[in-house]
């Protein structure tokens, strides 16, 4: 049977492109969304026109009960999970001294706690199969840190630590854990930047362009096909940080 892949936050941006590309590569995709139901339905429709079936499942991945339902659906329907892509995430642009406990909880829960519970809930099946692949969508800021995005940087640095530690723990079970650290990618997440600001950023990038969601999806596909890479944080950033 084809590989069964769960992609969190697949209604928009990077997650949507990952779901699309993997579905076109004959993998069975369970595309998770939370608020953007319309976009998720459109993705399903778009793929159906090409004769490709995917499942779209609503779940707030910061809530363990909803995560459990998502995993239960997958196991009942497909009996296995081969790949988990922890993609869903949010960012915030704020001065550190103005950050609140609510901000901390929202960002850390969405970007990091979700990866913790998603990974915990898929692992019994992966360990039983003695194979699996977890890919965490991290960020350049988890490596270098970003001014005005301290909480976001903390969440992604945590994700990088989790990637390395879990890779060591799960290697003997033949489960690979890697992260991709994108630079700046054209999605709604960067709506906060003006055209001029984006031009300025472009000038700092050796490859002289803003990344596309396809750049990340290609790397995800490669990581799934590979079988000797684990514990790595792979920078896909046009050379923005070297």
Summarize as ranges the residues that interact with ligand NAP (CB under 6 A): 8-9, 11-15, 32-36, 60-62, 87-91, 110, 137, 139, 182, 184-185, 187-190
User: In whole angstroms, what is the distance from residue 162 CA to residue 160 CA?
Assistant: 5
- 148: part of which helix (H) or strand (E)? none
Q: Which is nearer to ligand NAP, 60 or 103 (CB)?
A: 60
Contacts of 157 (CB under 8 A, 6+ apart): 142, 143, 145
Q: Which is nearer to ligand NAP, 200 or 227 (CB)?
A: 200
Q: Which is nearer to ligand NAP, 73 or 174 (CB)?
A: 73
Closest distance to ligand NAP from the beta carbon of 151 (Å): 12
For 65, 96, 169, 197, the CA distances from 236, given in Å and listed in that order, are: 33, 27, 25, 20
Closest distance to ligand NAP from the beta carbon of 77 (Å): 19
The candidate with the shortest Cα–Cα distance to 186, out of 217, 163, 160, is 217
What pairs with residue 136 in β-bridges? 86, 179
Catalytic residue among 33, 113, 152, 228: 152
Closest distance to ligand NAP from the beta carbon of 54 (Å): 14
78 a catalytic residue: no
HSE-CB at 230 with a 13 A cutoff on CA atoms is 19
Q: Which is nearer to ligand NAP, 1 or 196 (CB)?
A: 196
Closest distance to ligand NAP from the beta carbon of 130 (Å): 29
User: In whole angstroms, what is the distance from residue 172 CA to residue 182 CA?
Assistant: 28
Task: Return the CA Rg of the chain.
Answer: 17
The catalytic residue positions are: 152
């Amino acid at each position: 049977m084809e590989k069964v892949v769960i992609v969190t936050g697949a209604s928009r941006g990077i997650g949507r492109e990952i779901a699309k590309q993997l579905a076109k590569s004959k993998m069975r995709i369970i595309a998770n969304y939370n608020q953007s139901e319309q976009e998720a339905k459109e993705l399903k429709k778009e793929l159906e026109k090409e004769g490709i079936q995917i499942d779209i499942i609503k779940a707030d991945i910061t809530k363990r009960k909803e995560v459990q339902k998502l995993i239960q659906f997958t196991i009942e329907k497909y009996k296995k999970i081969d790949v988990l892509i922890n993609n869903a995430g949010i960012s915030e642009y704020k001065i550190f001294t103005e950050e609140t406990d609510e901000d901390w909880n929202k960002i850390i829960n969405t970007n990091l706690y979700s990866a913790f519970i998603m990974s915990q809930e898929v692992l019994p099946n992966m360990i039983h199969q003695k194979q699996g692949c977890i890919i965490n969508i991290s960020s350049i800021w988890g490596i270098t840190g970003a001014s005005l995005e301290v909480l976001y940087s903390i969440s992604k640095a945590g994700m990088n630590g989790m990637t390395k530690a879990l890779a060591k723990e799960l290697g003997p079970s033949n489960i690979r854990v890697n992260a991709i650290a994108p630079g700046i990618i054209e999605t709604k997440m960067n709506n906060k930047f003006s055209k001029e600001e984006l031009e300025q950023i472009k000038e700092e990038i050796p490859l002289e362009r803003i990344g596309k969601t396809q750049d990340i999806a290609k790397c995800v596909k490669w990581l799934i096909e590979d079988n000797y890479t684990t514990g790595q944080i792979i920078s896909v950033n046009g050379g923005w940080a070297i």
